Amino acid sequence: MARKLPPADSGLSPLAENLDDLGKIVRNTRAHGQLRIDDAAALLGVSSDLLSRLENGKPLTSSPP
């Protein structure tokens, strides 16, 4: 079953005051580009899990190089 793209919100502020706001901006930008989360993650060179966590305002962790 194909997943639907999130609706784009042209009135969303581009300024993020917290992690939740940043996630909304990222998701909205992806929606404007009509990209599925796995396609956007591949273009960014990150996992779809990481992008999902970011879009949902959850904390991200990094591993040392």
- pLDDT score of 38: 94
DSSP state of 7: P
- pLDDT score of 12: 82
The parent domain of residue 26 ranges over 19-54
Token output for 5: 């793209």
* Burial readout 10-19 (b: 16 or more C-beta within 10 A, e: otherwise): eeeeeeeeee
- pLDDT score of 63: 63
Rounded Cα distance, 14 and 60, in Å: 21
Residue 64 inside a domain? The answer is no
Residue 9 inside a domain? The answer is no
Domain count of the fold of the chain = 1
- pLDDT score of 11: 82
Among left, alpha and beta (phi > 0; psi -120 to 50; other), residue 61 is beta
Residue 26 inside a domain? The answer is yes
Pick out the chain residues at pLDDT < 70: 1-3, 62-65
